[in-house]
Each structure stands twice: as C-alpha cells, then as structure tokens.
Structure 1
Amino acid sequence: MRISVIIPTLNESRLVSAAVSSAKQAGADEIIVVDGASSDGTAEVAAALGCQVIHCDPGRSGQQNAGAERASGDVLLFLHADSRLGRDSLDQIRLVLQDDRLVGGAFKHHIEAKGILFRLLELGNAARVHWFSMAYGDQGIFVRRTIFHDIAGFPPVRLMEDVRLMRRLRQQGRIVLLTGPLVTNARRWQQRGVVWQTLQNWLLLTAEWLGVSPDYLATFYPPSGSNSQTDTNGE
C-alpha cells in the first residue's frame, strides 16, 4: 500500500523541513509539497529536501487538491507544515486500512506546549473523532485515493474545508482515529490564547453549521504564524 504525503505551504521555510523529515522517517512513498506563492524560500527548501514541489495559488483547499491530483499513492495523507508525523504513523495506516470498511481517518495529536489546557484540547479533539467521526486538518487526515476522488476532494472554500471533507467521508464508510501521535506546533493558541482560540472556533463552526458561508466567515478569522492560510483546526 503506497502512501502519498501532501504538505500545503505558504511561507513556512522555518517549519517545512521538520514536516518533510518526519514523513521520510515514517516511510512515505511520495512527498508532495504544494506551495502557494511563498515569499520566504519555502519551495526552495522543499526542493532541496528532494520533494516534488507544485506551485499554485494560495488557499489550503486548492493546494491540497492540486497535490492529490499529482499523487500516485493508494492513500493520501494531508500534513500541515507545522506538524510532524510519528515514526510508525504510516505503518499504523497500512495496518488499519486492510479493513475495507475503513475509508480514512486521522491521528491523536500532541500540541507542542506545556499546560493542562493543551492536554484538555488533545483529549477533546480525540473524543470528537471517536464519537462524531470529525477530524480536523491538524490531525493529519488520511483517505483512500479512490474515495477522495469519488467525493471530489476538498470543497473550494477558504475556511473549514476539512470539516466539509469529513462530512462527505462519513457517508462513504468508517473513520478511524490512530494513536499516532502527530505533533502540532502550538503557535496559534499561543498567539491568540487557548480560551479565545477555542471559543472563536466553536463560534465559527456553529455559524457554518447554521448555514453561514465559510468564505464569509474567513473574513473574521485572522491568519496565524508565518502561514497566512486560514485555519480553524484544533478547538
């Protein structure tokens, strides 16, 4: 079972090396970095690491779809540039996807910061996947390539593309949460505050569930870190 790791980037030259290295160490058959017009040399860093590099307009949904179109693996794993895979993560995927009833899943993640609030976030995120089959992008969503194309990939929205993808996946079969862990940079919680970040995400998700356009909601969600793509992951 071949696994393609797809990493969307935008001005992530400081972090992309660690993400790519983790994918290599985990045994990825293919690593594709999809760069959204970075101005800090991200694409050059990725190319120097031996990755396939695709250039396209910025926007995580479109970037991930572009990577999926190029990918040749049986399984697609979407890894954010500020996250790192565990060494046996891909082996975990290969093992569980021997069950044809499973269409995809994600990982338990570890937020790279100390404090009880971060540990509670991790528990809450794992419970969300376990009980509601709703993984977010910073948990390393993976999916069978055939299923991904059957559901037309990520929807063309500026925000919460991962939420909408997971809703479609749930209609195709079972979702699994793997032990991982996947390590995620804590920058957005540290910049905005854990409580405010969490509250903001809940409000945005509730608004989207009530029918408000994600593209409209994206205007209220400022970028975090060096990556100016909108991101509501990890409530």
Structure 2
Amino acid sequence: MKISVIIPVYNEQENLLKRLSFLSAQANKFLLEIIVSNSPETFDETPSICKPHTKVLFLNSTKKGRAAQMNFAASKATGAVLLFLHADVQLPDDFYNQILNTIKAGNEAGFFAYQFDKNTRLLNFNSKFTKTDGFFAGGGDQCHFFTKKAFETLKGYNEEFCIMEDFEMFDRVRKAKIPFAIIQSKATVSARKYENNSWLKVNLINGYMFLKYRLGVHPTKLRKTYKTLLREGT
C-alpha cells in the first residue's frame, strides 16, 4: 500500500534536510511518495534542498497557509494513505508498518504519540498526554494520517483555519465517527518553542488559545493573538 508523505513548508530548509534524508532512505524500502508543499511566501533555499532528492515531488502551493498547502498536495497525491508531517517532526523508524497495521485493523485515520528532542521532566510530562485521546489530542505535531477516501469524505483541512486546523480536522473526524487510532511508536518533536520561551509560558498560551478556539473565536484573530504572545523563533 502506497503512503503519500506530505510536508507543508515555509522557510524550513534546515529541518527539511533532515526529513528528506530519512524519508528518501525509507522510500528505498517501502512504497512511499514524498511530497513537499511549499508556501508561496517562502524565501529560503527550500527548492534547492529538494532538487537533489529524486524521490521527492516538490510543489509550489497556489495558496499560503498550512491547511491550503496540505490540501493542494493531497489533491496531487497518488497514495492510498495520506500522512501529514511537519518539517520539524521526526517520524519513528517503524512508521510505515505501524500505519499499515493500523489501517488493516479497520481504522481510517490516526496520529502518533510523541516525545520531545530534549529530555526534561517537564517536557516528558507534556508528552504523556499524547498517548491517549484527551482534550488536547490530535495536534499537527502528532502527524495526522488518513485513508485518501476518508480525507476526501472530510473534504480536507478547513482552509479558513490559519491556526488550529489540526484540532478542527480531528473534531470533524470524531463527529463523523470515522474510526481512528493513536500509534504508540513515538514521533520526535522539536522543543524549539519551549527553548525560545519557557515551559510555563508555552503551556499557558496553548491553553488560552485552545479555550478561545472552543469558544468559537475566528481563526484570524486566534493567529494574531498567538503571534503576539509567543516568540516563535526559527
């Protein structure tokens, strides 16, 4: 079964180098399609980074925004399963077989538990909440995957959401009662937000943003608030 790995990027040349090296090696062993969906606002060397990788399909998205970039790539993908990967997230080595087994078990969607690339007590505490389907489960760092049929049934990501598109998507998955699973082989997530701010600040901001999302605040206002509060860094 072919899995299309879709990576939406905006000035992510350094992280993309790591992701493409790993995925290209995996594509020599498994049936993978690797698609990089580039933001029209990117100004770094992302196109040059992708060029030497013969197994990578590089696309310039017609619209900016992660949701739009992911939908655009999904429309070009040929895999039976779509896996959405952030450029700063490392998949576990066994991701291909884990996804196949999850789909074969009757699930049509899912995501991965994760750990951080820094081993601290506070970050490890956060990662524990990614193992189960709780209040904050289903964020984009958890690497969403869907059968293409399920993704089309859901009509893709909601492009109105310039932030929180990941949670909005899995809210619809739950509402539609599409069977999904959380894979316990952990992805590895960058701790750069916590390093640029602090553990307490990031968690308070995340909680505040999630509350405003649940209260129905418009995504553009959410994004403006988020950029004001959080030092995102590089």
TM-score, normalization by structure 2: 0.90
1:87 partnered with 2:93: yes
Q: What's the counterpart of residue 19 of structure 2?
A: 19
CA contact (8 A) 1:11 1:39 kept: yes
1:46 partnered with 2:50: yes
1:144 partnered with 2:152: no
TM-score, normalization by structure 1: 0.89
Unpaired segments of 5 or more residues in structure 2? none
**Partner Cα separation in structure 2 for residue 80 and residue 159 of structure 1:** 14
Q: What's the counterpart of residue 178 of structure 1?
A: 183
CA contact (8 A) 1:22 1:86 kept: no
Q: How many pairs were matched up? A: 223
1:77-110 Cα shifts (integer Å, max 9, x gaps): 000000111221111010121123x121111111
Unpaired segments of 5 or more residues in structure 1? 227-235
Shift of 1:189: 1.4
Q: What's the counterpart of residue 118 of structure 1?
A: 123
CA contact (8 A) 1:77 1:140 kept: yes
Amino acid at match of 1:14: E
**Partner Cα separation in structure 1 for residue 74 and residue 206 of structure 2:** 27
1:10-33 Cα shifts (integer Å, max 9, x gaps): 111111021122333443510000
Which of 46, 71, 80 does residue 77 from structure 2 map onto? Answer: 71
Alignment of 1:92-111 (within 5 A): 92-100=98-106, 102-111=107-116
Amino acid at match of 1:142: F
Amino acid at match of 1:225: G
Which structure exhibits the higher relative contact order, with contacts defined as CA atoms closer than 8 Å and separated by 6 or more residues?
1
**Partner Cα separation in structure 1 for residue 167 and residue 98 of structure 2:** 23
CA contact (8 A) 1:106 1:176 kept: yes
1:44-66 Cα shifts (integer Å, max 9, x gaps): 20222221011123210101111
* Percent of aligned positions that are identical: 27
Which of 172, 187, 196 does residue 192 from structure 2 map onto? Answer: 187
How has the CA–CA distance of structure 1 residues 200 and 94 changed in structure 2, closer, same or farther, with 3 Å as cutoff?
A: same
How has the CA–CA distance of structure 1 residues 199 and 132 changed in structure 2, closer, same or farther, with 3 Å as cutoff?
A: closer
Shift of 1:160: 0.3
